[in-house]
Amino acid sequence: MNYSISQLANKFGLSRSTLLYYDSLGLLCPERRSGSNYRVYTSKDAERLQQICVLRGTGISLEEIKRIVGAKSSRTVEILQKRLEVINNEINVLRKQQKQIVEILGARELLKKTRVMNKETWVELMEAAGLDEAGMHIWHREFEATSPEAHQDFLESLGLNAQEIKDIRTWSRNGT
């Protein structure tokens, strides 16, 4: 199937100027032009634009997307893993900012309106669920064994200091 620039833009909820911009970057260049020199996009172009839109949704720059759509899958994995690491770091920074704002305002009740979980709240929640100290230890041990990076992120999100995180992760791995 062939598409005009307007048809393809509408299909993906984009503006004509976006497709023109992608063309100027060499990111999405139509395979052919009509006799009147209008851009004619093919199904292959539409598939490429679909891939561009998906990658754009991850927050990857257009420059990186251009590398991905023209590269082998190993490059894609590398770029996406790097983006995931950046997102994780940004989330940690935002959590710290959230916590600081609540502390500055001195309004602990605001914690319930945020997604901030602190150590005290988490412990209360685990105890309310019936876990004692031994149960929480098992929980940490399983978390560390199955997803060590996520465990690290979780502990950081609770606002624990580096030494406490290190201690928890050590006893989670070693059982001591």
CB 27 within 8 A of CB 65: yes
Phi and psi torsions of 158, nearest 5°: -75, -10
Kindly state the tokens that stand for 111: 């914690």
Give the angle subtended at the CA of 44 by the CAs of 38 and 50, to the nearest 5°: 100
CB 39 within 8 A of CB 33: yes
pLDDT tens for the chain, residues 1 to 176 = 999 999 999 999 999 999 999 999 999 999 889 889 899 999 999 999 999 999 999 999 999 899 888 766 667 888 888 898 899 888 878 877 887 887 788 876 776 677 667 788 889 889 999 999 999 999 999 999 999 989 998 898 887 888 999 999 999 998 76
Domain spans of the chain? 5-70, 117-176
Residue range 5-70 in CATH 3.40.50.300? no
Q: What is the DSSP letter of 41?
A: B
pTM above 0.75, yes or no: no
